[in-house]
Amino acid sequence: MKKFSIDRRALLGGAAVGAVALAAPGIITARAAPAKFVFKMGHSLPVSHVGNTRLQEALTKIAQLSDGSLQIRLFPNSQLGSDTDMFSQVRSGAMEMMLLSGNIVSVMRPLTGLYNVPFAFVDYAHLWAAMDGAMGDMLRAQLDGVGLHALDKHWDNGFRQITSSERTIKGPDDLKGFKIRVPVAPIWISLFTSLGASPTAINWSELYTALQTHLVDGEENALPLIEAGKLNEVQKHVAITNHMWDGFYGVVNKGAWEQLPPNLRKLLSDTINEAAMNERRDIVGLNTQAAMNLKAAGMVFNDADSGAFRDALRKNGFYAEWKQKYGDEAWTMLERFCGKLG
């Protein structure tokens, strides 16, 4: 009988190969290669974003270290659909893994976006203490309820800034009537409505076009993503507000996770968590670099009065409303890491 062998290079090159080899009848013997797992992983970040490059590195490493047993094909840039579409695919098992923003999953499990409370976190030291500690554990446990296994280390999207085509935004008054795109998440709509703006929820994958056609006049995102998404082509001003931090959960469909033997689970978690830690470091440096690049590309930056925004939110009852929505236990947990809000 013809000896069954696996060409490792072929395996690394094409995810379908493993599946084909397994499916070929009558050639699996006791000495055959181990079972193959071929997963799909999606996210909405542009190909050039460091979240994508760090993830691709990790997935290549997983394929190599598992000798081709676990191959995860990466689909960046919303190739498999918008964040909202991918969220339902990873829950159903149509794809196995995703970098999932808290804002997307907060529609079903509000607590997962607890870190999005505006002006809660002012620096990374407090933020990572929360996300790598008891608060992060509390939030990750929520994902179990939507059929997902959450990896331990959150990925950094960054502190968010407001961009606009025409307005210079310095304080709350400048937001009056401002047509701003926000992610599909209740707390964003509530935030900008309470400040007198006119928010529209749109997925990231539709954002460039929404700005280009002036469906909206502005948006808010972290500088590295503003740059990678080339939003400078359709926006002029950047107001440094740091109004909110945002990140991504690394998630695996629970059924797919449970299918994996313990050694592959460990390899997957360790490698992707390590990549997340590298990506966090990259983002810090990129924040400065992206500001320089965006200025060189013609964007005009101004500092905004974060204190004035925060005062406005205190006065208009925003914090009181969200404290009630999240509940005392979650709010106390948040304040344990970021200090008294509201």
Which residues of this protein are in contact with ligand X2X, per CB under 6 A? 44, 83, 101, 103, 157, 183, 204, 221, 225, 246
CB of 1 to ligand X2X, least distance (A): 52
For residues 72 and 207, which CB has a smaller minimum distance to ligand X2X in the complex? Answer: 207
For residues 105 and 291, which CB has a smaller minimum distance to ligand X2X in the complex? Answer: 105
Residue 203 dihedral angles phi and psi, to the nearest 5°: -65, 150
For residues 22 and 240, which CB has a smaller minimum distance to ligand X2X in the complex? Answer: 240
CB of 25 to ligand X2X, least distance (A): 44
For residues 17 and 238, which CB has a smaller minimum distance to ligand X2X in the complex? Answer: 238
For residues 66 and 161, which CB has a smaller minimum distance to ligand X2X in the complex? Answer: 161
For residues 204 and 318, which CB has a smaller minimum distance to ligand X2X in the complex? Answer: 204
CB of 201 to ligand X2X, least distance (A): 10
- Rounded to the nearest 10 degrees, the angle between the axes of helix 328-338 and helix 134-144 is 140
How far CA 192 is from CA of 243, 334, 337, 341, in Å, comes to 11, 21, 24, 18
CB of 49 to ligand X2X, least distance (A): 9
Distance, in Å, from the CA atom of 124 to the CA atom of 310, rounded to the nearest integer, reads 19
For residues 62 and 148, which CB has a smaller minimum distance to ligand X2X in the complex? Answer: 148
CB of 57 to ligand X2X, least distance (A): 21
CB of 265 to ligand X2X, least distance (A): 26
For residues 155 and 337, which CB has a smaller minimum distance to ligand X2X in the complex? Answer: 155
SS3 readout for the chain: CCCCCCCHHHHHHCHHHHHHHHHCCCCCCCCCCCCCEEEEEECCCCCCCHHHHHHHHHHHHHHHHCCCCEEEEEECCCCCCCHHHHHHHHHHCCCCEEEEEHHHHCCCCHHHHHHHCCCCCCCHHHHHHHHCCHHHHHHHHHHHCCCEEECCCCEEEEECEEEECCCCCCCHHHHCCCEEEECCCHHHHHHHHHCCCEEEECCHHHHHHHHHCCCCCEEEECHHHHHHCCHHHCCCEEEECCCCEEEEEEEEEHHHHHHCCHHHHHHHHHHHHHHHHHHHHHHHHHHHHHHHHHHHCCCEEEECCHHHHHHHHHHCCHHHHHHHHHCHHHHHHHHHHHCCCC
Neighbours of 81 (CB within 10 A): 18
Instruction: Name the residue type at position 164.
Output: S
CB of 203 to ligand X2X, least distance (A): 7
CB of 247 to ligand X2X, least distance (A): 8
- Per the listing, tokens 């190969």 go with 17
CB of 129 to ligand X2X, least distance (A): 22
For residues 70 and 131, which CB has a smaller minimum distance to ligand X2X in the complex? Answer: 131
